[in-house]
């Protein structure tokens, strides 16, 4: 069975790292000499230091907080998980987002006594915005509310209602205590009212994301490469299938040619599929360069210099209207400007905090429109994720990111693709 | 896509991004299993060739079998080998008792001199997150300043497969294509691809090396694993950590963090 990458998110101090430590310890996923350190005198583990398993930096251990994202491997009878720990402090949101963009599913951790707090909402909103659809909610520290059923039921209702509004139906909501070990791997007898699976069981119920093989071909060019006196085109098939003999169009310049042969390493292949990095030899490679996107003529991406998007900003310097940004979409890099910040969104209420704003601050989310200095290829994020999402850069550093939302204007070579985006 | 295939293609993608984004990339090869997989992935990325120098940081204290392995496969694969040694300290560093100082002098300092002399702006290396808790914090593209420091307090974001790493006059990047791989993935890939490994990894007289580096600082483990299948079986069942036999990891709490902040691999 395939492995699964799961991000653990939530407000600071709600117990994310401790929960990961408990999962690793109880499933026997830790190396023996690490596990031995937690064995307490009475046979039950010393849970207080579980967070140190992923919080390995001395600053993290001294300060009892997570600074940067880390990953650990969890083994159950079903499969291997990559658990992605993330920091809950607002100022480390860039590290949280870095971890979350690698995940296929999420565990949202909420403190039973405190309930959802600002980073709970912000993280949940980002999880939804980044396209993660499988979310397990855990109400942690149930020991601190005397394993009270009413408190759990209230929070479960509150969080489910909120998540539904962001487009997520939680897989399950689990009452547990990472510190005490209730319902993490071992079913607790302290909550006889509880009908949910344990967290380990709920993880095993998740479904790995599969790429749909029927999508239109997109061949993302990384670089031309001189090979045996020819110009090989190195790149990745991000969607669909590329076969030798296939007529191709490379956007945004609409350069037409034919794929003569396709190689993976030194081997010729008769069909390169989504996810594979290949070398293609073309009849004419002169019009193809880094950032070109290969496709089949009647299934073109949208080619535009004007994108509408939902973005998150993760830089201490705010982003103002008319500010210059670099946009990186796949291997396409473009200089651009923020034309309009249509709406700054409040992740807790999901309402517009400020319409037609002048700037976007660190950790804020907004609807914006961006104009680029030359056209680029984009697709709806649900059809070709790699061409429906992008990073924003300033001074050679990623300072934000986002997803194309569909309000795309500008020159367009493919009405049917534009229709998909508008629709 | 199966796990190994997904890891392979993602690593190839990262290697090519480094090649396309930097003026002068290079790849570190220690002749260990991980960096041998990295060399194989580089060859896969560029259709059978490695279009940049392959760097061996030679402490002068590697196992003889590692030097023999290096010379054989450099020839077979047509690699452009660059050997880097610390010019200023004597081979062996004189004193092995201070592991931190020895690793810093013989590895970090040698790499620093090489980067300075040859102007490398991106160095690919085969570290993995599961080797050590501090390496678990790394990025795929990790900037180092002029003095080689790793600013783990403020690492740049990476979003999906967008790294945004660019050559900069003042620094170099460490590129980590194997960050997502586990020890087991590495061995499975070695088996799948039929890659060569140094014989020290296989059991002789009930002992084998699980991790190899400098001879004075590596201890073999008790093991009967004499074939690739034996090693895979052993790793699937063991709960002993991989770097158990590596002295520099055990010096003191946070020794790895200190080493890495100073520019260690």
How near does any CA of chain B get to the CA of A235, in Å?
A: 8
pTM: 0.92
Question: Which residue is it, tokens 């088996």?
Answer: B191
Pick the residue with more confidence: B253 or A25? A25
On whether both B245 and B163 belong to a single domain, the answer is no
Q: Do the chains contact at B239 and A401, CB–CB below 8 Å?
A: no
Task: Assign B50 a pLDDT band (cuts: 50, 70, 90).
Answer: very high
Which residue of A225, A229, A312, A376 is the best one to mutate when testing the B interface, meaning the one whose CB has the most B CBs within 10 A?
A225
The total of other beta-carbon atoms located within 10 Å of residue A76's CB is 16
Which residues on adjacent β-strands are paired with residue A344?
A: A354, A366
Mean pLDDT of the B9-21 span: 97
pLDDT at B92 over 80: no
pLDDT in tens, chain A (423 residues): 468 999 999 999 999 999 999 999 999 888 887 788 777 767 677 777 888 888 877 788 777 788 888 888 898 888 889 999 998 888 889 999 999 999 999 999 999 999 999 999 999 999 999 999 999 999 999 999 999 999 999 999 999 999 999 999 999 999 999 999 999 999 999 999 999 999 999 999 998 877 666 899 999 999 999 998 999 999 999 999 999 999 999 999 999 999 999 999 999 999 999 999 999 999 999 999 999 999 999 899 999 999 999 999 999 999 999 999 999 999 999 999 999 999 999 999 999 999 999 999 999 999 999 999 999 999 999 899 999 999 999 998 999 999 999 755 544 444 444 444 543
Interface with chain B: mutation pick from A27, A86, A222, highest number of B CBs within 10 Å: A222
- Cβ separation A275–B9 shorter than 8 A: yes
CA dihedral A297, A299, A301, A303 (to 10 degrees): 40
Buried b (16+ CB within 10 A) or exposed e, B202-232: bbeeeebbbbbbbeebbebbebebeebeebb
Whether B252 has a pLDDT exceeding 70, the answer reads: no
Examine residue B189 and state whether it is found in any structural domain, yes or no. Answer: no
Say yes or no for a CB contact (<8 Å) between A223 and B20: yes
Residue B193 inside a domain? The answer is no
- The answer to whether B182 contacts A73, with C-beta atoms less than 8 Å apart, is yes
- Chain B residues within an 8 Å CB radius of A390: 162
The model's confidence at residue B171, banded by pLDDT at 50, 70 and 90, is confident
Q: Decide if A386 and B19 are in contact by the 8 Å CB cutoff.
A: no
Partner residue opposite A70 with nearest CB, options B3, B48, B136: B136
Rounded to a whole number, what is the distance in Å from the CA of A277 to chain B's nearest CA?
6
* ipTM value for the complex: 0.92
Mean of the per-residue pLDDT values of chain B: 88
By Cβ distance, the residue of B49, B136, B164 closest to A72 is B136
Q: Do A398 and B239 touch (CB under 8 A)?
A: no
Radius of gyration (C-alpha) of chain B in whole angstroms: 18
CA–CA min distance B90, chain A (Å): 32
Confidence (pLDDT) at B250: 54
Beta-carbon separation of A396 and B129 below 8 A: no
Is residue B62 assigned to a domain? yes
Tokens of A176: 């547990």
Q: Which residue of A has its CA nearest to B42?
A: A265
CA distance B166 to chain A (A): 6
Interface size between A and B, measured as CB pairs under 8 A: 140
- CA-based nearest distance B261→chain A, Å: 11
Top-confidence residue, B149 or A96:
A96
Confidence band (pLDDT; 50, 70, 90) for B16? very high
pLDDT of residue A259: 97
pLDDT of residue A414: 43
Look at residue B191 and tell me if it is in a domain. no
Residue B244: band (very low, low, confident or very high) from pLDDT cuts 50, 70, 90: low
List the single best residue of B47, B122, B127, B154 to mutate versus A (max A Cβ within 10 A).
Answer: B47
3-class SS of residue A188 = coil
Q: What are phi and psi of A38, to 5 degrees?
A: -95, -5
Residues of B in contact with A34 (CB under 8 A): 241
Q: Are residues B257 and B242 in the same domain?
A: no
Judgement on whether residues B115 and B19 belong to the same structural domain of the protein? yes
Instruction: Tell me the domains of chain A and their CATH numbers.
Output: 4-204 (3.40.50.300), 218-295 (2.40.30.10), 302-417 (2.40.30.10)
The pLDDT value given to residue A366: 97
Q: Cβ contacts (< 8 Å) between A82 and chain B: which residues?
A: 180
User: Looking at chain B, which residue has its C-alpha nearest residue A3?
Assistant: B3
> Could you tell me if B144 and B123 are in contact, meaning their C-beta atoms sit under 8 angstroms apart?
no
Looking at the partner chain, which of B44, B180, B257 has a beta carbon nearest the beta carbon of A57?
Answer: B257
The CATH code of the domain that includes B14 is 3.40.50.620
First to last CA, chain B: 31
Q: State how far the Cα of A147 lies from the Cα of A149, in Å rounded to an integer.
A: 6
In this predicted structure, what is the pLDDT of residue A411?
41
Q: What range defines the domain where residue B176 resides?
A: 3-182+253-261
Give the number of domains in chain B. Answer: 2
């Amino acid at each position: 069975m395939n492995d699964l990458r799961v991000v653990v998110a939530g407000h600071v101090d709600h117990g994310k790292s401790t929960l990961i430590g408990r999962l690793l310890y109880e499933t026997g996923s830790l190396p023996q000499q690490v596990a031995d350190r937690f064995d307490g005198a009475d046979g039950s583990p010393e849970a207080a230091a579980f967070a140190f398993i992923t919080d390995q930096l001395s600053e993290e251990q001294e300060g009892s907080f997570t600074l940067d994202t880390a990953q650990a491997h969890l083994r159950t009878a079903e499969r291997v998980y990559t658990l992605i720990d993330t920091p809950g402090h607002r100022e480390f949101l860039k590290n949280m987002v870095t971890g979350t963009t690698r995940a296929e599913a999420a565990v949202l951790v909420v403190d039973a006594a405190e309930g959802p707090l600002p980073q709970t909402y912000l993280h949940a909103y980002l999880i939804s915005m980044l396209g993660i659809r499988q979310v397990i909610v855990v109400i942690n520290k149930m020991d601190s509310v005397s394993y009270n059923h009413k408190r759990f039921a209230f929070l479960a209702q509150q969080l489910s209602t909120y998540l539904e509004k962001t487009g997520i139906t939680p897989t399950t909501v689990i009452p547990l205590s990472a510190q005490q070990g209730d319902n993490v791997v071992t079913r607790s007898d302290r909550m006889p009212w509880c009908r949910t699976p344990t967290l380990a069981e709920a993880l095993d119920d998740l479904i790995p994301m599969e790429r749909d093989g029927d999508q239109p071909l997109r061949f993302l060019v990384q670089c031309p490469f001189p090979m045996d006196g020819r110009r090989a085109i190195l790149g990745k098939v991000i969607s669909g299938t590329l076969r030798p003999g296939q007529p191709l169009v490379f956007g945004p310049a609409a350069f037409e040619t034919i794929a003569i042969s396709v190689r993976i390493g030194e081997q010729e292949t008769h069909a390169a599929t989504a996810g594979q990095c290949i070398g293609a030899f073309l009849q004419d490679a002169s019009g193809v360069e880094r950032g070109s996107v290969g496709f089949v003529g009647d299934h073109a991406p949208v080619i535009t210099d004007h994108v509408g998007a939902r973005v998150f900003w993760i830089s201490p310097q705010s982003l103002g209207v008319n500010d210059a940004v670099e946009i990186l979409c796949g291997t396409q890099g473009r200089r651009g400007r923020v034309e309009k910040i249509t709406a700054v969104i409040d992740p807790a209420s999901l309402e517009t905090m400020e319409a037609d704003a002048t700037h976007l601050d660190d950790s804020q989310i907004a609807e914006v429109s961006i104009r680029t200095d030359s056209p680029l290829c984009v697709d709806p994020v649900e059809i070709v994720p790699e061409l429906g999402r992008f990073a924003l850069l300033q001074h050679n550093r990623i300072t934000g990111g986002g997803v194309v939302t569909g309000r795309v204007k500008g020159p367009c070579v493919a009405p049917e693709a534009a229709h998909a985006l508008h629709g | 896509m199966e796990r190994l295939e997904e890891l392979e293609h993602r690593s190839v993608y990262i290697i090519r991004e480094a090649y396309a984004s930097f003026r002068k990339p290079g790849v570190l090869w220690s002749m260990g299993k991980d960096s041998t997989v990295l060399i194989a992935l580089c060859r896969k990325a560029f259709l059978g060739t490695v279009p940049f120098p392959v760097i061996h940081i030679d402490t002068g204290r590697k196992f003889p079998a590692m030097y023999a392995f290096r010379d054989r496969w450099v020839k077979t694969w047509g690699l452009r080998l660059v050997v880097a040694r610390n010019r200023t300290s004597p081979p062996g560093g004189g004193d092995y008792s201070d592991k931190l100082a020895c690793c810093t002098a013989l590895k970090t300092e040698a790499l620093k001199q090489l980067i300075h002399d040859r102007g490398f702006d991106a160095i690919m290396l085969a570290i993995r997150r599961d080797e050590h808790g501090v390496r678990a914090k790394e990025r795929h593209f990790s900037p180092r300043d002029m003095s080689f420091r790793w600013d783990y307090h403020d690492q740049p974001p990476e979003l999906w497969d967008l790294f945004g790493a660019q050559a900069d006059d003042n620094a170099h990047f460490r590129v980590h294509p194997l960050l997502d791989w586990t020890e087991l993935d590495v061995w499975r890939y070695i088996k799948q691809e039929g890659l060569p490994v140094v014989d020290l990894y296989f059991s002789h007289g009930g002992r084998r090396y699980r991790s190899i580096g400098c001879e004075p600082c590596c201890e073999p483990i008790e093991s009967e694993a004499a074939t690739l299948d034996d090693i895979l079986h052993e790793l699937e069942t063991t709960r002993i950590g991989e770097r158990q036999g590596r002295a520099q990891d055990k010096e003191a709490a946070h020794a790895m963090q200190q080493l890495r902040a100073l520019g260690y691999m």
